[in-house]
Amino acid sequence: MLNLIFFGPPGVGKGTQAARVAKHYDLVHISTGDILRAEIKQATDMGMIVKDIITAGELVPDDLLIELLESTCDKHKGTKGFVFDGFPRTIRQAEALDEMMERKQCKVSKVISLEVPPDELLRRLVNRAIEQGRTDDTAEVIKNRLVVYQKHTKPLIDFYKLKNIFVEVLGVGTIEGIFASLCNVIDNRY
């Protein structure tokens, strides 16, 4: 099984590239952001719980995300693997993902960090908010999300470097050029 994690702060292009990689390698793309937005839109119990958290740019509690992720993975038995987009975001989530993978008798193959300069991130996020009408991408929320990323998510770099599965890829350039770089990294995974 090929299981990939796309890593990086909001705006680096994780969603765009994760979807392309999933299609190219016939993997299941799991975007926690998309799943949570769908839960909110459908006004499910979980959606109502996380709506205020997401609107403020904070992280959804680990237990809720882990429950949602495992439920989503269980719906795709027999897959060639997964591309996780937006998960994990904390050490606790990474440990829970490892535990889940172990129960499924597989593991994370590679953690790919898309690297983009901060000024480019802000520009991308503001444009995305305008183009997609995403209310969770206001300037204030964007700045808070980047602070939350630095505080809670960036420590995952060392966690995955110790496992020798962390790779950085420049996330600036054409979508096709970045995709080609990602495929080179994935194809050289062993």
Q: Tell me the catalytic residues.
A: 14, 89, 128, 134, 145
Residue 92 in tokens: 């606790």
Distance CA 63, CA 183 (A): 32
Q: What is the CA radius of gyration of the chain?
A: 16
Structure tokens at 88: 């994990």
User: What does residue 170 show for φ and ψ, rounded to 5 degrees?
Assistant: -65, 125
The neighbouring-strand residues paired with 29 are: 83
Of residues 114, 160, 123, the one with CA closest to residue 16: 114
Distance CA 127, CA 109 (A): 32
